[in-house]
Amino acid sequence: MMFKILIYGLTLFGIALTNTPNTGGNVEVRLLDNQNAPLVATLDMSKADERVKQFVSDAIEAKMQHIEETMRSKEFVIETLDAKMKTLERIMKSQITNFERNLTNQLTDYINEMVVKVDEENGMSSTYIRWGRSDCSGVNTEIVFSGYAAGEKYFWGSNYRGGASNMLCLPNNPELSDKGGSGSSFIFGTEFQGNEFAPDSNNEDVPCVLCRSSNTASSVMIPGRKSCYAGWKEEYNGILAASAKSHTPSPYICVDINPTYVKGGKRNNDEHLLYVTAMKCGSLPCPPYKDNVQVNCVVCSK
Ligand SMILES: [Ca+2]
Ligand SMILES: [Ca+2]
């Protein structure tokens, strides 16, 4: 009988806890015996209560730990995703920038090619000699030929005042005559006389190149300036040069600001010579000009 009561009591334990006030660790449990007579069992639940409390506390703590772990793992996932997104963003930005740059370059090249083609079809171009260089640096310019600057010998003697006064740019692949000359007119290679063109320019032989600017109708050398006027394209700039006042005449030419030299031409030949030209005040108004300074020059096309 007592055993049954204990079993019923334990079975109804949960109900009893909710329905019966807990006083001093004792729990009153309503029971029925086999005659259906109402009985009341009093159980000492103090120790069970402690175990339940401990159980609940442990369960809550475990649950809390689980929640914390879940939260931490979610934070980790969010941080990882965030870092990944930032990396992807950087990569995308970089790729877009490269793509834009490549596209711009390709479009620029294409437009330049088209401009050259259209101008070539129209037959529009202008030419000029670049003195002191063997290459053409202007946009849409091409080398027609390169070679050697040349002119009359700087001095024959006090009774010799003639000969040519202009300069020529001779190609490096001449087609030679098989007949002799007259002995009265000659042409000599040009030499930089002095180090005013460049620190090591003295005695160096002077190259030149004929350039063709394919999208222009005019090419002009502007003395006294180092940049072109608005709407004109710069081909090259430099300093003005000519022969010496005590020598045979030679034209003013624009020698490139960064001259190069004919290979193997360092020997002092003193044939046709170039000197840096300076301006003189007088009939030439100063300002805007200035006495005894070098003269800038620029070759422009349009
Ligand atoms: Ca020389
Ligand atoms: Ca010399």
Ligand with smallest separation from the Cα of 266: 1
pTM of the shown model: 0.62
Ligand with smallest separation from the Cα of 267: 1
What tens digit of pLDDT does each residue of 183-216 get? 999 999 999 999 999 999 999 999 999 999 998 9
d(CA 229, CA 222): 10
**DSSP β-bridge partners for residue 223:** 297
Ligand with smallest separation from the Cα of 205: 1
**What does residue 41 show for φ and ψ, rounded to 5 degrees?**
-110, 135
For residue 10, what are its two tokens?
């334990």
Ligand 1 center–CA 268 separation, angstroms: 5
d(CA 22, CA 16): 9
Q: What is the pLDDT at residue 38? A: 65
Q: What is the pLDDT at residue 35? A: 66
Ligand 2 center–CA 270 separation, angstroms: 4
d(CA 250, CA 268): 19
Cβ–Cβ under 8 Å, residues 135 and 258: no
Ligand 1 center–CA 143 separation, angstroms: 24
Ligand with smallest separation from the Cα of 264: 1
Cβ–Cβ under 8 Å, residues 149 and 189: yes
Q: What is the pLDDT at residue 103? A: 94
Q: What is the pLDDT at residue 159? A: 77
d(CA 276, CA 270): 16
DSSP state letters, 142-191: EEEEEEEEEE--S---TT---S--S-EEEESS----SS---SS---EEEE
Ligand 1 center–CA 258 separation, angstroms: 18
Ligand 2 center–CA 134 separation, angstroms: 21
Q: What is the pLDDT at residue 56? A: 85
Ligand 1 center–CA 203 separation, angstroms: 4
Ligand 2 center–CA 178 separation, angstroms: 30
Ligand 1 center–CA 269 separation, angstroms: 5
Chain-centre distance for alpha carbon 298: 28
Q: What is the pLDDT at residue 14? A: 40
Of the candidates 127, 171, 167, the residue with the CA atom closest to the CA atom of residue 148: 171
Q: What is the pLDDT along the chain (302 residues), one digit of tens a residue?
A: 444 444 444 444 444 444 444 455 666 666 656 666 666 667 666 777 788 888 888 888 999 999 889 888 888 999 999 999 999 999 999 999 999 999 999 999 898 888 777 766 777 899 999 999 999 998 899 999 999 999 999 988 887 777 899 999 999 999 999 999 999 999 999 999 999 999 999 999 999 999 999 989 999 999 999 999 999 999 999 999 999 998 989 999 999 999 999 999 999 999 999 999 999 999 999 999 999 999 999 999 99
Give Cα separations from 253 to 181, 240, 274 (angstroms). Answer: 27, 6, 9
Cβ–Cβ under 8 Å, residues 277 and 249: no
Ligand 1 center–CA 201 separation, angstroms: 10
Residues bordering ligand 1, an ion, CB closer than 5 Å: 191, 203, 205, 265, 267, 269
Ligand with smallest separation from the Cα of 270: 2
